[in-house]
Amino acid sequence: MEKRNLRKERIGVVTSNKMQKSIVVAEVKKVKHPMYGKFVLKTKKYVAHDETNDCNEGDTVRIMETRPMSKSKTWRLVEIIERAK
């Protein structure tokens, strides 16, 4: 039996769900500035596949790396951790 490699997972907030079966997830990190020592917020956006069109803006979700599904879509939705209020 073939063993699959570990896949990267990210947790972020859905910023857009206007596409069909796709969402944009923003991951925010606090990174210490190398020279000044101040913590800076860095945002990275991922386009993820949402098969059921279940996510709404503001939801906290977990996404996982997968094969390329389109030019920009290489992530897929694993679960919705928390719904937007």
The tokens describing 2, both together, are: 């073939």
**% of residues, the chain, pLDDT over 70:** 100
| DSSP label of 51 | T
- DSSP-derived 3-state class of residue 53: coil
Q: Is the pLDDT of residue 3 over 90?
A: no
Residue 82: per-residue pLDDT: 97
* Separation of alpha carbons 10 and 34, rounded Å: 24
Which pLDDT does position 5 carry in this prediction? 82
Domains located in the chain, CATH noted = 9-82 (2.40.50.140)
pLDDT tens column, 30-55: 999 999 999 999 999 999 999 999 99
Cβ–Cβ < 8 Å for 46, 10: yes
